[in-house]
């Protein structure tokens, strides 16, 4: 049995929670009656808040000494998420909370140099990204996992399979992803001219904060399109995630996502693969990416979202969540 002293301590912690909730209500003009009051009244002591299926936030150290943050939600078949540039694992939260609620174990890490992971000066390339992912998969001993990669994260998934195979992977998904090769070259004539990526690099050095604000408030979510329903919350969230990443890391990553050739990696896919891309993607054009990848990946299923922008994990999250769940169950 708990001692009287411990019980009093828990009760004191609960009172702090209640007072904090009331303070938050005052600061943000939240109602102090009705549902909000009922939620506070029903709050449990701190010692009983944890339950089966909730895991502590963790980090691991890579072979070259980089600390990688990851989150691990729920139980069941593992689903692993790789995020885009210059974001972090929080960018997958709409999919993770949905799929974890459907009985899956959802795992996502902050890529080296991004989010809450440490910021190494070197190693900001796809080979290191893929090897970090492999180390996480091995650390957690994941089996029969589903890998989803968004944008740059799609390159991470492709390079992981190219370097480490599919022994731990049951299925894969490329969402608004950068493979097979973004930059225009003699052997990739339909690619994006290098000048576009040079401009991003120049903008990053000149005023990274403003560059990120311009991307988030404009082409990323399609907020620059006529009639678009603009969410300031999404803009601020994108900007905050970007600014949390290391300057050198995100600068180097521009080359990683734009100039890495994933064509041979895609040919090594041996598992069912879902490819989702918006036909109004202004960041990673569908013809250069989604459609081209679908031609290289065996067993690929291509879904084209009409009118969808690059950031469809948020703008089209309900449709995407359903399609991802259907794919996992298929």
- Spatial separation of the C-alpha atoms in residues 230 and 238, rounded to whole Å: 13
Q: How far is CA 75 from CA 78, 109, 240, in A?
A: 8, 17, 29
Is residue 281 flagged as an active site residue?
A: yes
Closest to 88 (Cα-Cα) out of 138, 150, 147, 139:
150
- Spatial separation of the C-alpha atoms in residues 284 and 200, rounded to whole Å: 14
The distance from CA 77 to its chain's CA centroid, rounded to whole angstroms, is 19
DSSP tag of 45: P
Q: How far is CA 138 from CA 44, 160, 174, 273, in A?
A: 36, 12, 21, 22
On the CB side of 269, how many CA atoms lie within 13 Å of its CA?
Answer: 32
- Spatial separation of the C-alpha atoms in residues 147 and 145, rounded to whole Å: 6
CB atoms within 10 A of CB 10: 15
- Spatial separation of the C-alpha atoms in residues 128 and 126, rounded to whole Å: 5
CA angle 221, 225, 229 (to 5 degrees): 65
Is residue 207 flagged as an active site residue?
A: no
Which position among 72, 132, 281, 314 bears the catalytic label?
Answer: 281
Is residue 164 flagged as an active site residue?
A: no
Tokens of 249: 């890391």
Query: Which positions ≥6 away from 96 have C-beta within 8 Å?
Result: 71, 73, 81, 106, 108
Which position among 217, 252, 310, 314 bears the catalytic label?
Answer: 310
Tokens of 187: 């052997």
Q: How far is CA 34 from CA 45, 85, 323, 326, in A?
A: 21, 41, 36, 37
Which position among 89, 91, 151, 253 bears the catalytic label?
Answer: 151
Active-site residues: which are they?
A: 151, 281, 310
């Amino acid at each position: 049995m708990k001692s009287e002293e411990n019980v009093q301590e828990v009760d004191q912690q609960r009172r702090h929670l209640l007072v904090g909730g009331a303070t938050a209500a005052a600061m943000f003009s939240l109602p102090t009656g009705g549902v909000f009051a009922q939620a506070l009244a029903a709050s449990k002591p701190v010692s009983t808040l944890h339950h089966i299926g909730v895991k502590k936030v963790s980090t691991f150290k890579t072979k070259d000494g980089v600390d990688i943050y990851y989150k691990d939600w729920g139980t069941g078949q593992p689903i692993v998420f790789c995020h885009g540039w210059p974001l972090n694992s929080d960018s997958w939260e709409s999919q993770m909370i949905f799929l974890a609620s459907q009985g899956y174990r959802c795992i996502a890490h902050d890529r080296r140099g991004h989010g809450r992971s440490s910021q190494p000066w070197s190693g900001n390339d796809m080979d290191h990204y893929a090897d970090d992912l492999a180390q996480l998969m091995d650390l957690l001993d994941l089996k029969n996992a589903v890998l989803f990669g968004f944008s740059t994260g799609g390159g991470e998934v492709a390079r992981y399979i190219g370097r480490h195979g599919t022994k731990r992977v049951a299925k894969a998904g490329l969402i608004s992803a950068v493979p097979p090769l973004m930059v225009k070259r003699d052997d990739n004539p339909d690619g994006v001219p290098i000048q576009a990526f040079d401009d991003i690099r120049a903008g990053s050095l000149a005023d990274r904060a403003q560059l990120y604000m311009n991307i988030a408030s404009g082409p990323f979510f399609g907020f620059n399109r006529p009639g678009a329903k603009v969410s300031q919350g999404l803009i601020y969230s994108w900007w905050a995630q970007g600014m949390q990443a290391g300057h050198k890391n995100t600068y180097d990553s521009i080359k990683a996502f734009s100039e890495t050739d994933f064509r041979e990696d895609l040919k090594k896919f041996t598992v069912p693969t879902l490819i989702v891309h918006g036909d109004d993607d202004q960041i990673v054009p569908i013809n250069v990416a989604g459609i081209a990848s679908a031609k290289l990946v065996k067993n690929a299923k291509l879904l084209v979202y009409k009118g969808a922008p690059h950031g469809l994990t948020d703008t089209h999250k309900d449709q995407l969540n359903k399609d991802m769940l259907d794919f996992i169950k298929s």
